[in-house]
Amino acid sequence: MRETVRAWLESGKVSMFLGYRLLEGHPVPHLFRRDRLEELEAFVVSPTRYPLEKLAMEILAAEPEGRLGLLARECTGRALRVLSVLQQVDLERIELLPVACCPSPLHPNVTCSYVEPSETRVGKEKWGIDGGVDLEAMERMDGEERFERWMYEFEKCLKCYGCRDICPVCVCKDCSLHNTDLIEGGWLPVEVPLFHLVRAVHMAGRCIDCGLCEEACPVDIPLRLLYRKVTAIVKDLFDYEPGISTGTLPLGLMGDEEIRRLTAHQVA
Amino acid sequence: MDYKLVPSVCSYCGTGCGVLFKVMNGRLVGTLPLKTHPVNEGKLCIKGWNLHEYVNHPLRLKAPLIKINGRFRKVSWDQALEFTAQRFQEIRDRYGPESLGVLVSAKITNEENYLAQKFARVVLGTNNIDHCARL
């Protein structure tokens, strides 16, 4: 894979490549360039994941002439498609270098941090929801138990906004989590389940199920499961799958005004 | 355009979470949790997530200030240290070493905390030392 990146940079297929390098023992995202090919010695593919799509967005905006190679898991491809629908990236300027990730008998050597089994804790089993639980198992519970368990999870929230900050498809300039008509600012604990449901609603038609939010959550709220439910509803109602469907979002949740704000700098 | 990601340690509290600074053209533009750091394992609190903000903040103090005639004025480090040493000496001579105390911090290293208590005990001559973790 290292040699492919070298060949891409040398041939000018791409002017820069965003992958990972080993730095002080940590795999961290790194922008490789043609004039610093020796840095490829530290090139690494590891289970560690960062929102490379979001970094790619910043890099392409700062270097309007550049073409970017990108190490891509399946979720990276889906995230880029959503960002393209939101007019945040130009897919023509990105070349993907695929890396195996989703667990299946066909891919025994998966490289995704999410595949590592999550730790089940006594409290989670008794009162909460374990990260490994699937949607079907959840729906078999009666409504009251499900609500109790979700509330147990939501009440732990520290309001760090990590789920939004790490999210590869959260790009709004005007975030509804800061809208004081919806959520009171400057207070802890957060109002539950409102805070999490506001974010869940805004993930409709956008969440690409990468699981980065859940990995970033300091109190292990099973966010991926929550957004899976939202995605399932969008699929049922509109037959729309974020990151797979190519058209625009079926719901105008972002609003035309937000799209205008987001694309304002591109026009100028 | 120069873009790199630089691992560091959060400077907000004593926990020592690993962070990853986004640096564009030599300027900090963002913070990510360092996913492989043994302390925080890819998670951060709200302060850590916004660590880059105070570095570039316009209100950040970049030089020592001394209050002269009721107003803070920018001075050099030499002037500030000279002034502080002189005032410490005056206070100690007039009221005794027990009138002085040192508060140390979780934001500095063990070694710096050690030096601070040494300074308090040996130079100032007081055992009045406390730490922000106890406040």
ipTM for the complex? 0.87
Band of residue A219 on the pLDDT scale cut at 50, 70, 90: very high
Span of A10-24, A67-81, A247-261 with lowest mean pLDDT? A247-261
- Average pLDDT on A46-73 reads 93
Contact A161 B36 (CB under 8 A): no
Question: Tell me, what's the pLDDT at B73?
Answer: 95
Instruction: Verify cis geometry, omega within 30 degrees of 0, for the bond prior to A189.
Output: yes
Write down the pLDDT at residue A115: 60
Please state which of the ranges A98-102, B71-75, B110-114 shows the lowest mean pLDDT: A98-102
> Residue A117 has what pLDDT?
57
Which token pair is A149? 């368990």
Instruction: Of A216-220, A255-259, B14-18, give the lowest mean pLDDT range.
Output: A255-259
pLDDT number for residue A256:
60
Q: What is the mean pLDDT of residues B113-130?
A: 95
Bigger pLDDT: B131 vs B39: B39
Q: What integer best gives the mean pLDDT of chain A?
A: 86
Percent of chain B with pLDDT over 90: 84
Of A166, A180, A226, A238, nearest to A202 by C-alpha is A226
Of A26, A29, A159, the CB nearest to B46: A159
Nearest CA-CA distance, residue B34 and chain A, Å: 8
What pLDDT was estimated at residue A70? 96
pLDDT surpassing 50 at residue A233: yes
User: Would you give the distance in Å from CA A29 to the centre of its chain?
Assistant: 15
How many degrees, rounded to 5, is the angle at CA A168 between CA A210 and CA A125? 40
Among A41-50, A173-182, A244-253, top mean pLDDT goes to A41-50
Looking at the complex, report in whole angstroms how far the Cα of residue A34 sits from the nearest Cα belonging to chain B.
13
What's the angle, vertex CA A83, arms to CA A115 and CA B32, rounded to 5? 55
Contacts of B35 in chain A (CB under 8 A): 26, 48-50, 113, 215
* Gap from B50 CA to chain A (nearest CA, Å): 10
**Residue of A27, A59, A162 lying closest to B44 (CB–CB):** A162
Q: How far apart are CA A224 and CA A214, in angstroms?
A: 6
Confidence of residue A248 (pLDDT cuts 50, 70, 90): confident
Q: Judge contact between A203 and A225, C-beta under 8 A.
A: no
Mutation target among B9, B35, B39, B40 for the A interface, most CBs of A within 10 A: B35
Residues A111-163 have pLDDT tens digits of 666 665 566 677 788 888 887 778 888 899 999 999 999 999 999 999 999 99
Residue A40 burial (10 A CB sphere; 0-12, 13-18, 19+): middle
Assign A102 a pLDDT band (cuts: 50, 70, 90).
low
Identify the sign of the CA torsion A157, A158, A164, A168: negative
Q: Do A158 and B43 touch (CB under 8 A)?
A: no
Mean pLDDT over residues A158-171, rounded?
A: 94
Between B3, B20, B40, which is nearest A28 by CB? B20
At A184, is the pLDDT very low, low, confident or very high (cuts 50, 70, 90)? Answer: confident
pLDDT at position B83 is 95
This model's pTM is above 0.90: no
Contact B39, B52 (CB under 8 A): no
Contact check, Cβ <8 Å, B24/A216: no
Interchain pair A49, B35: CB under 8 A: yes
C-alpha–C-alpha distance, residues A17 and A71, integer Å: 8
Residue A268 pLDDT exceeds 50: no
| Binary contact (B34, A28; C-beta < 8 A) | yes
Q: How confident is the model at residue B110 (pLDDT cuts 50, 70, 90)?
A: confident
| pLDDT band, residue B131 (cuts 50/70/90) | confident
Amino acid letter at A237? L
- B63-72 average pLDDT score: 94
Lowest-pLDDT choice from A125-139, A241-255, B32-46, B103-117:
A241-255
Interface residue ranges in chain B relative to chain A, Cβ cutoff 8 Å: 1, 3-5, 7, 18, 20, 22, 24, 29, 32-37, 40, 42-46, 48-49
